[in-house]
Amino acid sequence: MAARLSTDSPPAPVIYGCHGLELTPQERDFFAAARPAGFILFARNCKSRAQVSDLVADLSHCAGINPALILIDQEGGRVQRLSPPEWRAAPSAAELGRLVERSMDVAVEAIKLNTLLIAAELTELGINTDCAPVVDVPAPGSHNIIGDRAFSDQVDLLSHLARVMAESLLDGGVLPVIKHLPGHGRALADSHLELPTVDALRSDLDDVDFAAFQPLADLPLGMTAHIVYPAIDSKPATQSSAVIRGVIRQQIGFDGLLMTDDLSMQALSGSFADRARDSLAAGCDIVLHCNGDMAEMTEIAGAVAGKLSTEASDRLSRAQALIATSPQMPPVDAVDRLTKLLADNA
């Protein structure tokens, strides 16, 4: 059964983070006026189940649409904002991917179990969107920012296992976000800290990096990479019409809601207003700003004033319709079964 969609006018094309464990009066007033499409949570926002549930409810009340997108990066491994001791320690994608060495059936079972457990943990809190799976193909000698966050370095296998995770998230009532379009796996630097340039031949990008995303082009949400591909354009992918319209939309065929990676990452330069405007002008549907800095958010709000484009609004509505109100729950023995599968492969 699909989530009930708001009949209100479309929200602003932006997703914001907040600063702490609860909203300040200033944040609450700002978000209510800015009418964002959603919010993203980080470890700084997550202390306990009751606290996160209250924060999500407060954020949702401030949003410009119902249901608001409530995002989190809960991949497993070294990227999980909900962490022990309050929440389960989930295995990394690479650890799950290695189960293929035993059998594909074992790997698929483990990924489904782990993902349904993640989805149940998120829906309990009111979180409806997980920024996963990672579909970047790690290349030899590349920066480890991707590394074990990917299921495999083999294109077909990575695509297959990423789809298992994406579909299991949807089964569990959570929207997946494929990232980082059109491919971060060759980067020699961390885009949180600087702008990576990938000097690969276009044919190699086509055959590996872009090819990994093509089987997932029908999924509802995607996130861009702050990376320059000189074979295509001199601008970062997030701000490149040639990459977004030519590669992501046409070649890969992705027609879901496309959000930027975090605008506050140091890979991008210029004012925050320019970062937002340039990303939307290049073809992104929504901009993402994560750090909760009020001055930066205020600048972005001025730059994205107005509503989602008609195409972006349609894509958002299609994504909202996939948020299941009666999600599939993990089997009662899911944790024990997953632990056994992983132990048997140790």
List, by residue number, the catalytic residues: 192, 261
Rg of the chain over all Cα atoms, to the nearest angstrom: 19
Beta bridge pairs of residue 69: 38
Helices (H), 41-103: 49-62, 93-97
Nearest to 42 by CA among 224, 293, 345: 293
CA dihedral of 298, 244, 167, 318, whole degrees rounded to 10: 70
Take residue 178 and report the two structure tokens written for it: 């494929």
* Per-residue DSSP letter, 102: T
Question: Is 186 within 8 Å of 209 (Cβ atoms)?
Answer: yes
Question: Is 286 within 8 Å of 258 (Cβ atoms)?
Answer: yes
Nearest to 223 by CA among 325, 119, 135: 135
Nearest to 136 by CA among 183, 176, 177: 183
Nearest to 140 by CA among 127, 130, 154: 154
Place of tokens 């480890």: 144
DSSP assignments along 198-221, one per residue: ----HHHIIIIIHHHHGGGTTSSE
Provide the pairing of β-strand 12-17 with 286-289.
Answer: parallel
Take residue 312 and report the two structure tokens written for it: 């972006």
Return the amino acid letter for 40: I
Take residue 235 and report the two structure tokens written for it: 């601008």
Take residue 234 and report the two structure tokens written for it: 């001199």
